[in-house]
Amino acid sequence: MFSKRSIRRDFLIQLLIASATLIVIFSSILYFFIEQSIYEEKHQELIIYAQNISNDQEVFSNNADAIFGLTIEVIHLKKTHREVNIYQSTKKTRTYMTLIYPFSLYKHSYLKITKEISQTKRILDKILNYIFTINIAGFILVILYAIALSKMLTNPLKTLNSKLSNMDEHLMQAIKIQSLPTEFEPLGETINHLISRIQTFVKYQKELFIGTAHELKTPLAVIKLKNQVTLIKKRSSEDYIDALNVTNKTIDEMNIIVSNILNIGRQEGAQLEKPVLVDVIVFLEEKANNFILLAENEGKKFYIDFQPSSFMAYLQVSLLNQIIQNFLQNALKFTSKDGSVTIKSLHTKDGLLIEVVDEGCGVDESQDLFAPFKRQGNKSGVGLGLFLAKSASDALGAKISIKNRVDGVDGTIATLQLNAKLSCTLPRK
């Protein structure tokens, strides 16, 4: 009925073991308490009889029937024992309780009072049988309850499984969190986040394929048209050289497109890399130092402001490098000469916030800036950089955004928010 890895099976076994243990312990304590109470009452009766006899009182005067079934005799022991001794014995099918009570210590004589308690023993046996029967019935009820409870607890999982099994890349719908139990809301939110990522991935993949075909078709058409025009009539060597130069230039553009597409494949492989512990601030400083030289060479200013002094995180460094490098390359490309680029970090409640601020031409925020082959500004490019950066941030569990500056200066702010759940801040020595 259940596999070895079934959560429901494990839950049933643990619940049954716990319930059986509790029932056994409770029943044992209950029976022990009842037995001790009854026997204690019988002990006190025998002691009272012995005290009355020892004090030469009339035993039958108040309740003659009270000593019915008693056997009283005086015995002599070699040694004096001041303590009262009570024990039980069984002869054939009858059970007796015997009391040894000091009668005359000088003569080493003792009262030996024996009373048959077979009826009491039978009553205790019946009580034990009743408890045993109730335990069996209770255990059966616990089994039925455990099965019903485990089924109730696994119903939300079956519902989620049913909804997910009927989905494909074309018919994906978010799960209604409100219809789930509170304990399953985090799971529902995670699944909805995954569905959103799959939808975005499918959307971008379609755009990537269509855009790739379009981007490669255009230069191929240019090459073919240029060659056809060149072959229409005999031309000079210079014309042939010019045609070949145009072809080579177009091929170079195609190679750039192909290289960027290959980067997508490399990035997917990088997502499978094992995360390592890295100081993000140290990484940013090393990356920034490389771009300081590039900025100076282009006559641009480059500023750094990193806070805190250290921020440790488990992540794939190649993915982080792809995001930061794309941000800085775009910032330098679109910032005019004598302009400035600033990279800074700030520790927030959500983790580490990294910003790259430039003085470029800004972006059209109404467009999907992370879609493949979407170009912004007046600079040349394939339009796959931000697409790769977005894919890398999704793999890191981070968030990126591109917005225009609102401080009255033209330019953009590229933001990367690293998740604090996989990170921690440490003071730098």
Residue 229 pLDDT > 90, yes or no? no
Identify the band that residue 64 occupies on the pLDDT scale cut at 50, 70 and 90.
very low
Range among 44-58, 138-152, 209-223 with highest mean pLDDT value? 138-152
Residue 376 pLDDT > 70, yes or no? no
Residue 65 pLDDT > 70, yes or no? no
Instruction: Write down the pLDDT at residue 219.
Output: 74
Identify the band that residue 284 occupies on the pLDDT scale cut at 50, 70 and 90.
very high
- What structural domains and CATH numbers belong to the chain? 7-141 (no CATH), 169-270 (1.10.287), 276-425 (3.30.565.10)
Q: What is the pLDDT of residues 249-273, one digit of tens each?
A: 878 777 777 776 666 666 555 555 6
More confident residue, 1 or 55: 55
Q: What is the pLDDT of residues 3-40, one digit of tens each?
A: 556 777 777 888 888 888 888 898 889 989 998 898 88
Structure-block tokens of residue 14: 């643990």
More confident residue, 91 or 31: 31
For the question of whether the overall pTM of this predicted structure is more than 0.75, the answer is: no
C-alpha 356/C-alpha 291 separation (Å) is 12
Peptide bond into 219 cis (omega under 30): no
Look at the block and give the residue holding tokens 């939808």. Answer: 199
Instruction: Write down the pLDDT at residue 341.
Output: 92
Give mean pLDDT, residues 207-221. Answer: 69
Look at the block and give the residue holding tokens 């269509």. Answer: 210
Identify the band that residue 388 occupies on the pLDDT scale cut at 50, 70 and 90.
confident
> For 166-299, where are the alpha helices, taking DSSP H only?
185-231, 237-270, 280-297
Instruction: Write down the pLDDT at residue 346.
Output: 92
Instruction: Write down the pLDDT at residue 272.
Output: 56
Q: Are 388 and 369 in contact (CB under 8 A)?
A: no
Give mean pLDDT, residues 401-429. Answer: 76
Structure-block tokens of residue 419: 């998740």
> Strand 412-419 and strand 70-76: pairing?
unpaired
Instruction: Write down the pLDDT at residue 357.
Output: 93
Structure-block tokens of residue 327: 């941000």
Mean residue pLDDT across the chain: 79
Give mean pLDDT, residues 100-127. Answer: 82
Residue 428 pLDDT > 50, yes or no? no
Spatial CB neighbours of 180, under 8 Å, sequence gap ≥ 6: 156, 160, 187, 188
Residue 215 pLDDT > 70, yes or no? no
Look at the block and give the residue holding tokens 């007046």. Answer: 378
Instruction: Write down the pLDDT at residue 415.
Output: 93
Q: Are 369 and 376 in contact (CB under 8 A)?
A: yes
Instruction: Write down the pLDDT at residue 113.
Output: 84
Identify the band that residue 81 occupies on the pLDDT scale cut at 50, 70 and 90.
low
Q: What percent of the chain has pLDDT over 90?
A: 10
Identify the band that residue 95 occupies on the pLDDT scale cut at 50, 70 and 90.
confident
Q: Which of 414, 415, 427 is nearest to 312 (CA)?
A: 427
| Distances, alpha carbon 248 to alpha carbons 214, 223, 267, in Å | 19, 9, 28
Instruction: Write down the pLDDT at residue 412.
Output: 92
Please name the helix (run of DSSP H) or strand (run of DSSP E) that holds residue 152, with its range, or none: helix 118-165
More confident residue, 221 or 79: 221
Dihedral sign, Cα of residue 256, residue 258, residue 264, residue 265: negative
Look at the block and give the residue holding tokens 């069984």. Answer: 90
Instruction: Write down the pLDDT at residue 63.
Output: 44
